[in-house]
Chain A
Amino acid sequence: MVKEERRIYYLFSPFLRIFHWIMAVSILVMFVSGLLITKPVYINALEPTYTLFLVDVTRSVHFLAAFVFCASLILRVYGYIINRGDRLFPRVLEGHFYSETVDVALHYMLLKKSHAPFLRNPLARMSYAGLYVMAAIEIVTGFAMYNMADPNTIGGFLFGWVNTVLGGEYMTHVVHHYCAWGIMLFVIGHIYMAIRADFMEGEGEISSMFNGTKLLEHEPKDACEVEPPKTK
């Protein structure tokens, strides 16, 4: 039995945490329903009348999850506004960000036994930023396809340009589909890294998405992002 002292850092507001789990479920639903839209399975019934798999329903499920996902972004934004711990994005304008990235990368490549303690390390920050970019791509391409059923609506006006930028609506489908796979690759890496972080550092990585806190033994390098600056 080892006894050690750890500090509790409160990071994530309830809004971010609720958003996170809504996102997790809805992305999974959208991924599966999306693939089924591209390649519908035909469940052969006795007669066509009783076909079990309806593309219509699959699309509705996809769109419902999409609307829930987009609505939950409001929670994320609200958390971002009220809570500093919800703003852990890459500090690409600060020089130390890059040296720290290299440090963490060396550890992840198993070339270093450990990396400096962080509330959220620079690589994780970048991967989450990447996820948000991919989610944004899914949203704009998704709504472009969705709203162009009638180009003369406000939705068509707001998102129709996406099809023009990508060079045609077929390309919008392709980008939407490729990006969906990109998100899935992120998901695999993300789940692994979260479990690994808990295993290696025991900082409560996974439970932080439930209770909002992480437990750190050493003062993290980015502590100043959630705490008022220390007066020396």
Chain B
Amino acid sequence: MEKRETMLESYLRRGLSRRTFIKGCVALTTMMGLSTDMVSKVVEAAEKKPLPVVIWLHGHECTGCDESFIRSGAPLASDLVLTNIALEYDHLLSAGSGEPFEHHLEETVKKYWGQYILAVEGAVSTTDNGTFCMSGGKPFVETLQRVAKGAAAIIAYGTCATDGGIQGAKPNPTGSAGIKHYTGTKPIINVPGCPPIPEVMTGVVMHVALFGKIPPLDSEGRPKQFYGNRIHDTCYRRPFFDAGMFADSYDDEGAKKGWCLYKLGCRGPETYNSCGNLRWYQGMSYPIQSGAACIGCSNAHFWDEGPMFARLPEYGPLGDIDKIGAGLAVATAAGVAVHAAASVVQKQQRDKDKENGKEQVGNK
């Protein structure tokens, strides 16, 4: 693979027509969240640019992101991997294994130094020199740091890679953390989610691949076109929220009728993702549509943020802040009453002193 193919060439080599290629480009354009007048740019890039080399590393994780990735419908994950990018190394999808495979990683890093896209799934385990997560005989954190140095851009897939993931929940015995502190100053695209939506995963890598540029990011480094809205603001159950119609438990009338899941702790109001508009598996459904409250899986630290089935954190027998606050208010009021009674006594004594001419003002 000395002269790298372009996307068009890879289509033609596989006996696909140019017409199919153009169709593919149109699909890609919409998938990347771009407007249709960008189609010509996409076609141009796909005709001229050699396929981008991608190295896909897996760290401390469950590989659930891959499960999501391979279900991408537009573009099909197989199309993406076989015709749209040059995927040189992937723990999960590669046929190769063992020493030669690890060797291939080193070769690729050397050969395409400064050019390849690095996709990372999974957290960095930091406790005990990272030995909780080993791959190819080396701690993942070492491999990551080495490979990241030569990357043109880095994509962090999944909330593990962006913020440490579920294994990073308190007390976090493996010291799991997001990758951002181990990748130096390389530009990084955060694609959180547990897992992210398949089409978001493919859309982001295609954007970088085709334009050689990072898509517009928000303040948390997430692509704006996919993380620019709260689920709550795109949720089809929102009218029920506005109308005050809620499910109070998962088996009541409200739940059956498909009312809003806010009272069951839905994190839609705090979560930025495309579930509400893209939905999953070619628009089939998403958690709320299937009747489960959103758990905010694309939020950093969602694993530590209170019970997922309630709006507010709870403190054992004390309950939530509304109970505690009401208790404190009553206690304060009671304290006030006692203090008021004592003040009345104090005032009477003071008035008596005053009458007797023993007036006392402050420190005098």
Chain B neighbourhood of A188, CB < 8 A: 329, 332-333, 336
Chain A neighbourhood of B353, CB < 8 A: 113
- Interface size grouping (class) on chain B: 35 or more
Q: Is the CB of B243 within 8 A of A56?
A: yes
How many A-B contacts at CB < 8 Å in the complex? 135
Indicate which residue in B230, B296, B349, B362 contacts A116 across the interface (CB closer than 8 Å).
B362
| Least distance between A135 CB and chain B CB atoms (Å) | 17
Q: A152-B224, A199-B343 are in contact. Are A167 and B300 (CB under 8 A)?
A: yes
| Least distance between A138 CB and chain B CB atoms (Å) | 14
Complex: how many Å from CA A51 to CA B361? 61
A130 within 8 A of B: no
Indicate which residue in A51, A152, A170, A199 contacts B299 across the interface (CB closer than 8 Å).
A170
Chain B neighbourhood of A170, CB < 8 A: 267, 270, 296, 299, 302, 305-306
Q: Is the CB of A174 within 8 A of B263?
A: no
Chain A neighbourhood of B347, CB < 8 A: 199-200
Complex: how many Å from CA A152 to CA B233? 14
Q: Is the CB of B299 within 8 A of A169?
A: yes
Complex: how many Å from CA A125 to CA B74? 63
Q: Which residue of B lies closest to A157 (CB)?
A: B219
B301 within 8 A of A: yes
| Least distance between A7 CB and chain B CB atoms (Å) | 14
Chain B neighbourhood of A103, CB < 8 A: 362-363
Chain B neighbourhood of A38, CB < 8 A: 311-312, 322
Q: Is the CB of B361 within 8 A of A54?
A: no
Against B, the Cβ 8 Å flags (1 = close, 0 = not) of A170-181 are 111110011001
Q: Which residue of B lies closest to A169 (CB)?
A: B270
Complex: how many Å from CA A10 to CA B166? 61
Q: Which residue of A lies closest to B355 (CB)?
A: A2
Chain B neighbourhood of A54, CB < 8 A: 242-244
Q: Is the CB of A161 within 8 A of B219?
A: yes
Which residues of B are at the interface with A, using a C-beta cutoff of 8 A? Answer: 218-220, 224, 228-230, 233, 241-246, 248, 262-263, 267, 269-272, 296, 299-302, 305-306, 311-313, 321-322, 324-325, 328-329, 332-333, 336, 339-340, 342-344, 346-347, 349-350, 353, 360-364
Other A-B pairs beyond A38-B312, A200-B343, 16, CB < 8 Å:
A51-B244, A53-B244, A113-B353, A116-B362, A116-B363, A148-B230, A152-B224, A167-B301, A168-B302, A174-B312, A174-B313, A181-B325, A188-B329, A192-B336, A196-B339, A200-B346
- In the complex, 15 of the A-B residue pairs with CB atoms within 8 angstroms, ordered by the A residue number, are A39-B322, A54-B243, A113-B349, A114-B362, A149-B230, A167-B300, A167-B301, A168-B302, A169-B271, A185-B325, A185-B328, A185-B332, A189-B332, A192-B336, A199-B344
Which residues of A are at the interface with B, using a C-beta cutoff of 8 A? Answer: 35, 38-43, 48, 51, 53-56, 103, 110, 113-117, 148-152, 160-161, 164, 167-174, 177-178, 181, 184-185, 188-189, 192, 196, 199-200, 218, 221
